[in-house]
């Protein structure tokens, strides 16, 4: 295992320490327990938004904390859910009296620990709603998950819910927007290589030199099929077909097309994927009116990509376009 | 070789086609010859700025085209200089009568081809100045290069020169600012793994499972030393020491600290590197007043990172902070 790390036990604490010093204008980092919070939290008059989950998917979620998006992010150990304790602490830190939304990716550990944290926060008179994101169409029920997994669509839920909170929506309204985005977003990914969790020291799974995994999970969970490597256009078709059929997305729909890198794939390849995906959508009469291309929901150094399609309407488009200022996503301020 | 590509010969043309459709609000792509240009070029009353070089370093340079930064970028084949022809075409496309600055990384092929292009443009009455960037302190003279190589510091030159052009500086003044940034910026990188050029199909060099290359070039050119893998903090110290001694950077200096990913390294590791680099600078009384963390000057899927330090003054800080709107870097608009 070759990584730019010190002791594998210190990976998360040192990385968030690096974030704290790099982005002191946007965030501060609490260390006991560990969470990342907006420098100006709690923000008066605003619903708070907290997300979190295992580390190793950066910039999600810590790089998405800031005006217009998350108020706090709770990083667990690599690929391991955070315990309820830091989730409660983050929830308290962002509550300004209008309640707090938890955005939770659908993994059994995350769901349980966020539920426990919500109960504990409620016991301290903080109103909490939770929205569970399950955008991955690859498989139903998986390693770590009952039901569908939450993957890169989570970034879109967080951006749009963040904008809703920013414009002053109340807790029910922010939760309703997040629920609506989750209902209209679908994703699927492919892995070309595995990744290595630092404290494990060995790749999470084996993938032969000439094979890829279609429908991979963001922790390397099995997908739909392991097949020989193919040209990118064919792989994109394999990912898009189940995404488009699932909602379904139809001719005349306006969508946001998001091509996400898994961490180890060059940007040049993501644009090759984007090109084909946009071509397929155009052929079907689906209008790509917004886009996102880059590494936002990663799996450490895994090579691969995922495609996410979100059906837009005027309100979601306006919320997507609203100003955001985070380490990883910023525009309009 | 497993990559998300179709025919290796089509990698650059398909990737720029993907950029064109994703970022139609910012750029357009010319295909014969290939270059990427601001959608609104030429911009009346403004000095034009063109950069370019071999592909495989994305988002540099195509992802840095837009208001406040580059007017055009000329991508050669992967790790291969563009010919003079597209450089001339890009130069013409961005000339608004106030002349054009070429920002060129110091590689023999790039320097020669940009020189030829400048001569051809001059023959058509376009005034061109060139600034050659050579920020890499690792080695003097290298594979492909006489003198020092141009690496990630190029991104800082492009941002700051772009801001100078944006505020209305004339060609001599923009060239002087770019020259000043180059004179005050130093970089050095480390590779943990090699990368594979698509049309070659094999890794560019061999790096044993337990060794790293200190002072690597962005095309995998040899650096200063090949050593056994070490903790990240020790590696950071090895990169920073020659950077700080070279200018030298001294107690009381204000600097921009830039930790750049080579393409295959997780963001979480870049923050571990940033943390240590900031710590070392603080110990030396050097003030980090601006920062950049992420993949901006990559080497395909190479795992590794580089550190860049730029000495700031009030003017350079103001130009760094000026609004920019490109695919890869945006703030303030």
Please, which residues bridge with residue A50 across strands?
Answer: A72, A102
Residue with tokens 């990584």: A3
What are the helix (H) ranges across A56-134? 84-94, 108-123
Quote the minimal CA–CA distance from B15 to chain A in Å. Answer: 5
Half-sphere exposure of residue B184, counting CA atoms within 13 Å on the CB side? 21
Q: Does A272 contact B59 at a Cβ distance shorter than 8 Å?
A: no
Q: Does B209 contact A2 at a Cβ distance shorter than 8 Å?
A: yes
pLDDT average, residue stretch B286-300 = 98
CA distances from A306 to A186, A259, A262 (A): 10, 6, 7
Model pLDDT for residues B193-246, shown as the tens digit of each residue: 999 999 999 999 999 999 999 999 999 999 999 999 999 999 999 999 999 999
Task: Give kind and range of the element (H or E) at residue A254.
Answer: strand A254-261
Whether residue B42 is preceded by a cis peptide bond, meaning omega within 30 degrees of 0, is yes
CA distances from B65 to A115, B69, B246 (A): 45, 6, 31
CA dist., res. B274 & res. B293, Å (int): 8
| φ, ψ dihedrals at B27, nearest 5° | -135, 160
Please, which residues bridge with residue B142 across strands?
Answer: B145
Largest CA distance in chain B: 55
Can you give chain B as a three-state secondary structure string? CCCCCCCHHHHHHHHHHHHHHHCCCCEEEEECCEEEEECCCCCCCCCEEEEEEEECCCCCCHHHECCCCECEEEEEEECCCCCHHHHHHHHHHHCCCCCEEEEEECCHHHHHHHHHHHHHHHHCCCCEEEEEECCECCCCCECCECCCCCCCHHHHHHHHHHHHHHCCCCHHHHHHHHHHHHHHEEEEEEECCCCECCCCCCECCCCCCCEEEECCCCCCCCCCEEEECCCHHHHHHHHHHHHHHHCCCCCCCEEEEEEEECCCCCHHHHHHHHHHHHHHHHHCCCEEEEEEEECCCCCCCCCEEEEEEEECCHHHHHHHHCCEECCCCEECC
State the pLDDT at residue A175. 98
- Residue B143: pLDDT band (50, 70, 90) is confident
ipTM: 0.97
CA distances from A227 to A58, A210, A212, A214, B198 (A): 28, 8, 6, 8, 21
Query: Taking the mean position of all CA atoms in its chain, how far away is CA A92?
Result: 22
State the pLDDT at residue A223. 94
| B3 contacts on A by Cβ (under 8 Å) | 192, 232, 269
**B106 has pLDDT over 70:** yes
The DSSP output letter for A298 is: -
| φ, ψ dihedrals at A260, nearest 5° | -110, 135
Per-residue pLDDT of chain A (333 residues), as tens digits, is 999 999 999 999 999 999 999 999 999 999 999 999 999 999 999 999 999 999 999 999 999 999 999 999 999 999 999 999 999 999 999 999 999 999 999 999 999 999 999 999 999 999 999 999 999 999 998 888 889 999 999 999 999 999 999 999 999 999 999 999 999 999 999 999 999 999 999 999 999 999 999 999 999 999 999 999 999 999 999 999 999 999 999 999 999 999 999 999 999 999 999 999 999 999 999 999 999 999 999 999 999 999 999 999 999 999 999 999 999 999 986
Sequence-distant (6+) residues with CB within 8 A of A282 are A288
Q: Does B263 contact A263 at a Cβ distance shorter than 8 Å?
A: no
- Residue B66: pLDDT band (50, 70, 90) is very high
Phi-psi region of B197 (alpha: psi -120 to 50; beta: other; left: phi over 0): beta
Superfamily for domain range A10-183: Dihydroxyacetone kinase; domain 1 (3.40.50.10440)
- Residue B169: pLDDT band (50, 70, 90) is very high
Report the CATH number of the A185-331 domain. Answer: 3.30.1180.20
**Among B11, B62, B266, B327, which would you mutate to test the A interface (most chain A Cβ atoms within 10 Å of its Cβ)?**
B266
| A275 contacts on B by Cβ (under 8 Å) | 14-15, 17-18, 21
CA dist., res. A302 & res. A194, Å (int): 5
- Antiparallel, parallel or unpaired: β A324-325 and A27-31: unpaired
The DSSP output letter for A10 is: G
Model pLDDT for residues B245-269, shown as the tens digit of each residue: 999 999 999 999 999 999 999 999 9
CA dist., res. A165 & res. A129, Å (int): 13
Neighbour-count burial for B259-289, b at 16+ CB within 10 Å, e otherwise: bbbbbbbbbbbbbbbbbbbbbbbeeeebebe
State the pLDDT at residue A333. 60
**B333 has pLDDT over 70:** no
Sequence-distant (6+) residues with CB within 8 A of B19 are A271, B27, B29, B36, B62, B63, B327
Topology agreement, domain A10-183 and domain A185-331: no
- How many percent of chain B have pLDDT more than 90? 97
Please, which residues bridge with residue A192 across strands?
Answer: none
Quote the minimal CA–CA distance from B295 to chain A in Å. Answer: 9
CA distances from B110 to A76, B94, B124, B136, B305 (A): 46, 19, 21, 16, 23
- How many Cβ atoms sit within 10 Å of the Cβ of residue A245? 11
| B331 contacts on A by Cβ (under 8 Å) | 325, 330-331, 333
CA geometry: angle A261, A263, A268, nearest 5 deg: 50
A189 contacts A145 by C-beta, under 8 angstroms: no
| B272 contacts on A by Cβ (under 8 Å) | 4-6, 11, 14-15, 18
Q: Please pick, among A61, A102, A219, A291, the residue that the annotation labels catalytic.
A: A219
| A vs B: CB pairs below 8 A | 185
Model pLDDT for residues A235-260, shown as the tens digit of each residue: 999 999 999 999 999 999 999 999 99
**Among B3, B18, B196, B303, which would you mutate to test the A interface (most chain A Cβ atoms within 10 Å of its Cβ)?**
B18
pLDDT average, residue stretch B35-49 = 98
Please, which residues bridge with residue B71 across strands?
Answer: none
> In terms of CA atoms, which chain B residue is nearest residue A63?
B267
Q: Mean pLDDT score of chain A, rounded to an integer? A: 97
Model pLDDT for residues A32-79, shown as the tens digit of each residue: 999 999 999 999 999 999 999 999 999 999 999 999 999 999 999 999
Q: Mean pLDDT score of chain B, rounded to an integer? A: 97
| B265 contacts on A by Cβ (under 8 Å) | 4, 301
- How many percent of chain B have pLDDT more than 70? 100
Q: Domain limits of chain A? A: 10-183, 185-331
The DSSP output letter for A285 is: T
Name the residue among A141, A65, A144, A142 with its Cα closest to residue A110.
Answer: A144
**B163 has pLDDT over 90:** yes
- Antiparallel, parallel or unpaired: β A185-191 and A128-133: unpaired
Query: What is the pTM (predicted TM-score) of this model?
Result: 0.98
Whether residue B6 is preceded by a cis peptide bond, meaning omega within 30 degrees of 0, is no
- Residue B23: pLDDT band (50, 70, 90) is very high
Residue A23 is among the residues annotated as catalytic for this protein: no
Structure tokens of B176?
């002087």
- How many Cβ atoms sit within 10 Å of the Cβ of residue A179? 16
Query: Taking the mean position of all CA atoms in its chain, how far away is CA A103?
Result: 10
CA dist., res. B291 & res. A325, Å (int): 15
Residue A199 is among the residues annotated as catalytic for this protein: no
């Amino acid at each position: 295992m070759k990584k730019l790390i010190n002791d594998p036990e210190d990976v998360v604490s040192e990385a968030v320490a690096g974030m704290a010093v790099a982005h002191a204008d946007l965030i501060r980092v609490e260390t006991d327990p560990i969470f990342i919070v907006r420098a100006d939290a709690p923000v008066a008059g605003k619903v708070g938004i907290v997300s979190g989950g295992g580390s190793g998917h950066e910039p999600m979620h810590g790089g998405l904390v800031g005006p217009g998006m998350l108020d706090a992010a709770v990083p667990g150990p690599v690929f391991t859910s955070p315990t309820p304790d830091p989730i409660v602490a983050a929830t308290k830190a962002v509550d300004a009296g209008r309640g707090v939304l938890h955005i939770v990716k659908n993994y059994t550990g995350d769901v349980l620990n966020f539920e426990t944290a919500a109960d504990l926060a409620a016991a301290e008179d903080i109103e909490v709603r939770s929205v569970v994101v399950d955008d991955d169409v690859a498989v139903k029920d998986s390693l770590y998950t009952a039901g569908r997994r939450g993957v890169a669509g989570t970034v879109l839920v967080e951006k749009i819910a963040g904008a809703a909170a920013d414009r002053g929506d109340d807790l029910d309204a922010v939760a309703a927007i997040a629920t609506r985005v989750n209902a209209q977003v679908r994703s699927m990914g492919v892995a070309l290589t595995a990744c290595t969790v630092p404290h494990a020291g060995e790749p999470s799974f084996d993938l032969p030199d000439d094979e890829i995994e279609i429908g991979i999970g963001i922790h390397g969970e099995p997908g739909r099929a392991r097949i020989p490597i193919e040209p990118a256009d064919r792989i994109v078709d394999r990912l898009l077909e189940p995404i488009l059929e699932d909602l379904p997305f139809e001719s005349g729909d306006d969508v946001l097309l998001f091509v996400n890198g898994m961490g180890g794939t060059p940007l040049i390849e993501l644009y090759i994927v984007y090109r084909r995906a946009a071509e397929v959508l155009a052929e079907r009469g689906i209008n790509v009116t917004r886009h996102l291309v880059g590494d936002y929901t990663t799996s450490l150094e895994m090579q691969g990509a995922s495609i996410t399609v979100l059906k837009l309407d005027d309100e979601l488009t306006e919320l997507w376009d609203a100003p955001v200022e985070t380490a990883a996503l910023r525009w309009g301020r």
